[in-house]
Structure 1
Amino acid sequence: MDKVNYHSTENKEISLIEANYQSFAFSRHYHLDFHIGLITAGQQKFHYQGASHYVGQGQLVLMPPDELHDGQSMLDSGYQTRVFEIDPTWLSELAQLKQSTSQVHFKQLIISDQQVFQPLSQLHQLLATNHVSQLAKDCLPYEGFERLFSHYVGLEQKRAVPLGNQSMESLKEYLLHNLDQPVRLEQLSQLCQLSPTQFQRHFKAKVGLTPYAWLSRLRMEQGMKLLKLGISGTEVAHQVGFYDQAHFSKAFKSTYGVNPSQVN
């Protein structure tokens, strides 16, 4: 049976997921944040950058933002996972980046290292409870990620993905500020100084999704962020471009496997 819990933390740049996935399968999607997933039981299979990957108990998956991937259980019994959702800016600050043109880069997609896994597993459990002091919750993330950073993090130059005379990053920022508006293909193509046909073709080639599918995911990702801030489901639905809460709730449940009311 599928069971998923989403938790906010005192640090608004870090959110937590604790889940047991059995039948629920993730279609191809991306995240706005870094996802650091710890497999605590079972095995997961996912496709990423044209290859199949397998991860099991005691291993970590380090998924950067904006990268397309899917996910499902390899076993009928499912798999259990604890996930850190981390804002990219906070992660860059943790890495003490000195140049705005650089970004955090994990040297491996999958890590098998119990000296990394165990501290992060303990950190996840502590941040999800109320049994530690406020100061501890503030300090613990810096300690918990220490070995991961010292052994597996590198730096790389930010790569701008061009789309006409714009970049995917600038297009994402534009759409995030206009999620409550009816977005038209012609509008986006003019923004990039492309014809609608060129825009659709170039977008799919660069990103791997149609503009519509990519925008739909962006609405869900932003909706999740707003729910974690304590904004009501009705208000979130309108802010991310849905006519009513019912349609938003249906799309949200299909995407994440839980109702918006279950996010805290």
Structure 2
Amino acid sequence: MERVSYHNTISDAISLIEASYTQFAFSRHYHLDFHIGLITHGEQKFNHNGKTNHVGHGQIVIMQPDELHDGKSTLEAGYQTRVFAIDPAWFQQLTDLQHPTHTLAFKQSIVSNTALFNHLKQTHCRLSTSHISQLEKDCLPFDGLYQLLEQFSTTKSISNYSLGVQSIHTLKEYLLEHLDQPVRLEQLSNLCHLSPTQFQRHFKNQMHITPYAWLYRLRLEQAMKLLQSGLSSTDVAYRVGFYDQAHFAKAFKQTYGVPPSQIIG
């Protein structure tokens, strides 16, 4: 049976997921945030960067923003996971990285380190409870995640994939500002000074996903953030461009495994 719980923390930049998946499978998708996952039971299989990976109990999965991947259980009993979803800007501040052309990255997507796993698991558990002091809530994210950064992070040049006169970054910013409006292929291609055919070809070559699938996921990623901020499901649906509440609820559950009503801000 699928069980998924989402928790906010003292920081708007960090949210927590605790889940148990048996039949549910994630289709190819990406995140706006870093996702640091701890496999606490069972085994998961996921495809990422053209490679099939298997991760099991005691291993850490690091999924960076905008990287396509999927995921499902390899065992009938399923798998359980605890996940930190972290805004990239929070990581940048934690490392004092201020170079405008560089960003934080991780050297690998799978980490096998028992001591670090246990440390992160304890951090996740404590952040999920209300029975700790305010000061501990404030300090725990830094204390819990700094070891991961210190051992496995690096910096890299920002990959600013070009689409005509625009970039993926500027296109994302444009769409985030217009999620509540119908988006046409002609709009996007004109924005990039490309023909519709050129735009589709360049986009698929750069992002390995169609423009409409990319926008669909962007809407749902933003919907999750808005629900966690405390907005109602009805309000969120309209803000991200779903004009039918039932359609939004179905799409959200297919994507995250739970209906939007279960996300409590």
CA RMSD between the two structures: 0.7
Q: Deviations over 1:199-222 (max 9, x none)?
A: 111111111111111100000000
The answer for the alignment partner of 1:177 in structure 2 is 177
Distance 1:248 1:205 in 2: 29
Q: Residues 57-68 of structure 1: matches in 2 within 5 Å?
A: 57-68=57-68
The answer for the alignment partner of 1:23 in structure 2 is 23
What residue identity is the alignment partner of 2:219?
R
Q: Residues 178-197 of structure 1: matches in 2 within 5 Å?
A: 178-197=178-197
SS at match of 1:183: coil
Distance 1:171 1:146 in 2: 32
The answer for the alignment partner of 1:246 in structure 2 is 246
Distance 1:8 1:234 in 2: 20
Q: Which moved more, 1:72-81 or 1:96-105?
A: 96-105
Contact 1:39-1:80 at 8 Å conserved across structures: yes
Distance 1:10 1:261 in 2: 22
Deviation at 1:108, TM superposition (A): 1.4
Q: Deviations over 1:83-140 (max 9, x none)?
A: 0000000011111113122111111110000121111101111111101011110101
SS at match of 1:46: strand
The answer for the alignment partner of 1:139 in structure 2 is 139
What number of residue pairs does the alignment pair up?
264
The answer for the alignment partner of 2:163 in structure 1 is 163
Q: Deviations over 1:145-192 (max 9, x none)?
A: 121111111111111111111000000000000000010000100000
Contact 2:92-2:98 at 8 Å conserved across structures: no
SS at match of 1:145: helix
Percent identity, aligned pairs only?
Answer: 60
Distance 1:175 1:140 in 2: 34
Distance 1:205 1:149 in 2: 31
SS at match of 1:71: strand
Distance 2:225 2:140 in 1: 22
The answer for the alignment partner of 2:14 in structure 1 is 14
SS at match of 2:202: helix
Q: Residues 211-226 of structure 1: matches in 2 within 5 Å?
A: 211-226=211-226
Distance 1:219 1:109 in 2: 25
The answer for the alignment partner of 1:88 in structure 2 is 88
Distance 1:100 1:7 in 2: 32
Distance 1:249 1:165 in 2: 36
Contact 1:115-1:147 at 8 Å conserved across structures: no
The answer for the alignment partner of 2:97 in structure 1 is 97
Deviation at 1:244, TM superposition (A): 2.6
The answer for the alignment partner of 1:44 in structure 2 is 44
The answer for the alignment partner of 1:130 in structure 2 is 130
Distance 1:98 1:225 in 2: 25
SS at match of 2:230: coil
Distance 2:34 2:100 in 1: 18
Task: Indicate whether 1:151 and 2:137 are aligned.
Answer: no
Distance 1:115 1:107 in 2: 18
Contact 2:27-2:70 at 8 Å conserved across structures: yes
What residue identity is the alignment partner of 2:78?
G
SS at match of 2:243: coil
The answer for the alignment partner of 1:53 in structure 2 is 53
What residue identity is the alignment partner of 1:237?
A
Distance 1:98 1:89 in 2: 11
SS at match of 2:80: strand
- Please identify runs of 4+ aligned residues in structure 1 that moved more than 2 A: none
Contact 2:45-2:55 at 8 Å conserved across structures: yes
| TM-score normalised per structure 1 | 0.99
Contact 1:40-1:82 at 8 Å conserved across structures: yes
Distance 2:80 2:131 in 1: 23
